Amino acid sequence: MRLSYRNRELVSLVAVGLITATGFASVYIALKAKVSSGSLGYAVFFFALYLAAHLVTRWVVPLADPYLLPLAGLLTAIGITEIYRLGTKDAFKQAIWIVIGVAAFALTLLLLRKDYRVMEQYKYLFGVGAIVLFFLPQLPGIGTSVNGARLWLRLGPFQLQPGEFGKIALIVFLAAYLREKREVVAQGRLKDWGPMLLIWGASMLVVVVTSDFGSGLLYFGIFLAMLYVATARLAFVGAGLGLFLAGSALVYEGTPHVRERIINWLHPWTTTKVYCPLNGQLTYRQDCQSYQTVQSLYSIAHGGFGGTGLGSGTFTTLSGAPLVPEQNTDFIYSALAQELGLIGAAALLMVYMVFVLRGFRIALAASDGFSKLLAAGLSFGFALQAFVIVGGILRVIPLTGITLPFVSYGGSSVVSNFILVALLLLVSHRANREATP
Amino acid sequence: MNKQLLRLSVASIVLLLVLVLATTYWQTWAVAGLQDRQDNAVQAVAQFTVARGLIEGSNGQTIFAANRKKKVGGNTLYFRRYPQSGLAAQTIGYSTTGSTAGLERSLGDFLTGSNQNLSNVFQGTLDRLGGGTVHGDNVVLTLNPAAQRLAMQQLGGRCGAVVAMNPRTGAILAMASSPTYDPNLLEKPNGYAQILKTKAPCPYPSPFLNRATAGLWPPGSTFKMVTAAAALDTGTFTPDSRFKDPGYCTEYGKKVYNSSAPDSGAHEVFGNVTLAQGFQHSINSVYCNVGIKLGAKTILEYAKRFGFYSKLPLETPSDERAASGLYRSTKHGNQLWSPGNPDTEVDVGRLAFGQERMLASPLQMLLVGATIANGGVVPRPYIVQRVVGSDGSIISQTQPQMLGRAIKPETAAELNQFMQLVVKGGTGTAAQIPGVTVAGKTGTAETAANHVYDAWFVCFAPAENPRVAVAVVVENQPNGFGGAVAAPIAKVVLQKLLGG
């Protein structure tokens, strides 16, 4: 007997629920003194929440891919377990965000249940919307900066990072525009590139203004990838990469902030003392600028092959202060790698791989250009975002702070990624409906 | 578009695979290098999440190092406490948030359970899976707490050291170094500064210095054990070889005088004596002449056989032990010196009675005595009796080992007799114990100041079947002769260890 798509989803969600329960149970056992048995309530709560999401998919997109929602659930569960372990207060906020994320997921499905391709007609709205979202935090009054980067909106007790939603809007715009103009864009006429370059250039400008180079790398990568899928011209990718390197060289010369990132990446440890801008004295770089990078590497190395076990890792100094700043947002991967070890970290990366492959499978199955480009852009963006932050932590590339999808602490990221899953499910449902007679 | 999509999906997977590879690198190959880095704050804290093993005395009751639990940020951390405070502080060492020393440092792998033996791997995994604390291995020492306490009392705050060993096995029974410090102070504010201000009657009190293994003094007449060993073992002299003592010996046309008599202050003159009597009364002129006849090369050769010129093996960190031998001052400080041509470069007459530029540690002089007690074979010193896992299983048990033969058994027997004479009716009568034959050798080394000496005594008992050897040095003693200052200390420590 072959299970229907939705029943497969349900079975997978039960498995995810069990894994979540195990995770919270091990945190509870390790930190009995610190957390209450109520922590197990989280597992029950999440299972109920995903069950609700499942009921919506059963009703709206019955033929959609059965694994994306459980995979998203698994990543979210891994994330909140670690966030909970690092600090129960943030975990509670994150739980609220996940509820909002699931609501946004359901809302997206319901709003676009007739035909999501209606978005194509509003492509310029999405394009301009992306720019507006990128620019919002720059407005005085509502924008706030956290750690020197002005990327947030303050709404009551919550902070919002509109850029996370801008990313999805940008992908929708690029998919719609490239679907319409792919033949002429492939010919390389400037006139046809105009609107796309304008919107893309504006978003890059924001990136330079806000010093948010992680997002810059992400948008640029998504742009090149979608351009390649639409035009099949590798030369565009090559030229784009060349432009990127040239631009990086210019930025490197002109921006001390970027220069510092590159130096920290190449030479995090010094044997002689160098100038430290934080205290104005001569210090070893590992004790100043690259402190976060190297301590996060120590954290990863401390996990070794098998990890310390959930709840048994070392994240605070002897006086109880955090060892690695931003541990539960940008650096959640180093916390997970310490407690779950190489086995757990590799498993986590494999979950990302499966997620991305399911996304591309949807793109392949889709019948129209817009759907293909949309699914490919969302899937590649998902993979690239994981690569930019984890690669930065692991010194594969220079470190830039962006969130690890579904896992990092951060409301906007969780909500926007749930919207991303909803869009992929809509594309998948349509493709499978067309394929079945 | 599907071709491009396939290619892009492969590219995405490659990106993620790169992350798997990079993670593998940092969690396997790079681990050892990162762990040793000074700035590794994670490691610095993580070591306190492990409950370090206990360090216990030979009686299995006296705990030298234990743990004190403290909750920090929800984690249980284990800090050290030292219930015996300064009793064997320099040997046990310490493990604090800032640094480690002594056995706490050199046995760190066992004490933190990170030594990769089967029991540790198994138990550590179980502990981790159960969410519990990883427990280190307990270390049981050969140190006898009662004798150790007595030795510290006898030193009474003076600068010096007492070391005792079983000459048959090399097991260290006492290792006292004074002045000492309370390792519990190290975690207190200003504790370190307070320790450095320790006052004691010598130029450099240095409470952190383990004087038993890293303290160096001119061995004075205790070095005559080495000279006599060379004299007899080479067959150049016999115990009955006769000497005429005019009160001095002539070397390069200059007179090298005997030490002055404790009572009169004048240089002693003994007249016609044998080699044995020269040893019994510690007559410098006799050994000066022996030295001239043997040559510095031969004497140094024998010294090396007893362990001179090498760091004696022990479980303490290597930089807390110093090699004995000739030292000379260089621009890098006082350094061990192996003369290329000893017979011309060394003042052999003075070397023969332990002056010249000869410096020795108490452990080294103890080893000379223990070798004589052990029939000429040098025992390998050790202080760790066994390492016991947290589950009670024995992880390692020290088997006594010998470092090699230094002198013939007959030579050892003759020297044993020489040393018995010293205690029976020579310079070391203060070490006599009723009913037990004690063998010993005094030493009174000159210091830079007039009439201020470093007092030595090396002995073992019972002479017929030695079970305990003891070396004592007391530094910077005005008019303090080895027989008067050091021998009584050695005697009570001997008594304690023989009785127990």
Domain ranges of chain A: 5-262+322-435
Residue A148: band (very low, low, confident or very high) from pLDDT cuts 50, 70, 90: low
Type of residue numbered B238: T
Mean pLDDT for B244-258 is: 78
Least CB-CB distance to B41: which of A301, A306, A317? Answer: A317
| CA–CA gap between residue A218 and residue A224 (Å, rounded) | 10
pLDDT at B264 over 60: no
pLDDT at B257 over 80: no
pLDDT of residue A425: 97
Size of interface A-B (CB pairs under 8 A): 173
* Cα A197 versus chain centre, distance: 24
Structure-model confidence comparison of residues A26 and B175, the more confident one:
B175
Cis ω for the linkage preceding B462 (within 30 of 0): yes
Q: What is the mean pLDDT of chain A?
A: 87
User: Which residues of chain B make contact with A363, given a CB cutoff of 8 A?
Assistant: 5
| CA–CA gap between residue B211 and residue B177 (Å, rounded) | 5
Instruction: Assign 3-class secondary structure to A244-275.
Output: HHHHHHHHHHHCHHHHHHHHHHHCCCCCCCEE
Chain B contact present for A302, CB below 8 A:
yes
Chain B contact present for A240, CB below 8 A:
no
Please name the residue of chain B whose CA is at the shortest distance from the CA of residue A315.
Answer: B42
CA angle A311-B121-B398, nearest 5°? 135
Q: How many CA atoms lie within 13 A of A9 on its CB side?
A: 24
Chain B contact present for A295, CB below 8 A:
yes
Mean pLDDT for B302-321 is: 95
User: Which residues of chain A make contact with B129, given a CB cutoff of 8 A?
Assistant: 309
Lowest mean pLDDT among A337-341, B18-22, B332-336, B416-420: B332-336
Chain A contact present for B189, CB below 8 A:
no
- Spell B301-325 as b/e; 16+ CB within 10 A means b: ebbebbbbbebbebbbbeebbbbbb
Element (DSSP H or E) covering residue B405: strand B402-405
Q: Taking a C-beta distance cutoff of 8 angstroms, is the pair A153, A144 a contact? A: yes
Phi, psi of B245 (to 5 degrees): -105, 110
Residue A395, sorted as left (phi over 0), alpha (psi -120 to 50) or beta, turns out to be: left
Q: Which residues contact A370 (CB under 8 A, 6 or more apart)?
A: A117, A120, A175, A176, A179
Length of chain A: 437
Contact A301 B34 (CB under 8 A): yes
Chain A contact present for B153, CB below 8 A:
no
Chain A contact present for B39, CB below 8 A:
yes
pLDDT of residue B118: 61
Closest CA to B37 of A321, A294, A318: A294
Lowest mean pLDDT among B175-189, B260-274, B468-482: B260-274
Lowest mean pLDDT among A80-89, A164-173, A206-215, A227-236: A206-215
pLDDT of residue B500: 54
Please state the ipTM of this predicted complex. 0.94
| CA–CA gap between residue B488 and residue A132 (Å, rounded) | 92
| CA–CA gap between residue B412 and residue B372 (Å, rounded) | 5
CA–CA distances in Å: residue B36 to residues A51, B133, B185: 48, 23, 26
Domain regions of chain B by residue span: 146-181+199-384+404-499
Mean pLDDT for B442-467 is: 92
CA–CA distances in Å: residue B103 to residues A86, B1, B62, B106, B108: 35, 69, 16, 5, 8
Write the DSSP symbol of residue B209: S
pLDDT at B114 over 80: no
Can you list the positions of beta strands (E) in B181-238?
none
Mean pLDDT for A252-273 is: 85
User: Which residues of chain A make contact with B41, given a CB cutoff of 8 A?
Assistant: 295, 298, 317, 323
Interface test mutation site (partner A, options B3, B13, B23, max chain A beta carbons within 10 A): B23
User: Which residues of chain A make contact with B24, given a CB cutoff of 8 A?
Assistant: 342, 346
| CA–CA gap between residue A302 and residue B413 (Å, rounded) | 58
Least CB-CB distance to A33: which of B6, B17, B71? Answer: B71
Cis ω for the linkage preceding B179 (within 30 of 0): yes
pLDDT of residue B365: 98
Chain B contact present for A5, CB below 8 A:
no
| CA–CA gap between residue B218 and residue B213 (Å, rounded) | 14
| CA–CA gap between residue B359 and residue B351 (Å, rounded) | 10
Write the DSSP symbol of residue B166: -
Closest CA to A334 of A289, A281, A399: A399
Q: A319: burial class by Cβ within 10 Å (0-12, 13-18, 19+)?
A: exposed
Which B positions 43-62 lie with beta carbon below 8 A of chain A? 43-46, 48-49
Residue B76: band (very low, low, confident or very high) from pLDDT cuts 50, 70, 90: confident
Long-range contacts of the stretch B250-255 (C-beta < 8 A, 24+): B251/B288, B251/B292, B251/B347, B251/B348, B251/B349, B251/B350
Structure-model confidence comparison of residues A257 and B432, the more confident one:
B432
Does the structural domain B146-181+199-384+404-499 have CATH classification 3.40.710.10?
Answer: yes
pLDDT at B467 over 60: yes
Chain B contact present for A30, CB below 8 A:
yes
- Spell A265-280 as b/e; 16+ CB within 10 A means b: beebebeeeeebeeee
Residue whose token pair is 């990221």: A413
Residue B123: band (very low, low, confident or very high) from pLDDT cuts 50, 70, 90: low
CA–CA distances in Å: residue B488 to residues A193, B351, B421, B432, B449: 101, 27, 17, 9, 24
Please name the residue of chain A whose CA is at the shortest distance from the CA of residue B79.
Answer: A318
For residue A138, the distance in angstroms to the closest alpha carbon of chain B comes to 32
| CA–CA gap between residue B87 and residue B362 (Å, rounded) | 18
Please name the residue of chain B whose CA is at the shortest distance from the CA of residue A391.
Answer: B19
pLDDT at B304 over 70: yes
Q: What is the pLDDT of residues A184-193, one digit of tens each?
A: 877 877 777 7
pLDDT at B231 over 90: yes
Chain B contact present for A388, CB below 8 A:
no
Mean pLDDT for B469-496 is: 94
For residue B49, the distance in angstroms to the closest alpha carbon of chain A comes to 8
Chain B contact present for A378, CB below 8 A:
no
Q: Token pair for residue B11?
A: 């590219």
pLDDT of residue A239: 84
Write the DSSP symbol of residue B208: T
Phi, psi of A424 (to 5 degrees): -60, -40
Mean pLDDT for B47-59 is: 89
Q: Which residues pair with B68 in a beta bridge?
A: B79
- Sign of the alpha-carbon torsion through A354, A359, A362, A363: negative
For residue B114, the distance in angstroms to the closest alpha carbon of chain A comes to 13
Contact B24 A341 (CB under 8 A): no
Q: Which residues contact B55 (CB under 8 A, 6 or more apart)?
A: B63, B64, B65, B92, B103, B104, B107, B111, B138, B139, B141
Can you list the positions of beta strands (E) in B128-203?
138-141, 160-165, 172-178
Least CB-CB distance to B74: which of A33, A319, A396? Answer: A33
Q: Taking a C-beta distance cutoff of 8 angstroms, is the pair B326, B297 a contact? A: no
Contact B128 A300 (CB under 8 A): no
| CA–CA gap between residue A309 and residue A250 (Å, rounded) | 45
Q: 10 Å Cβ neighbour count for B135?
A: 22
Interface test mutation site (partner B, options A75, A312, A339, A404, max chain B beta carbons within 10 A): A312
Contact B45 A372 (CB under 8 A): no
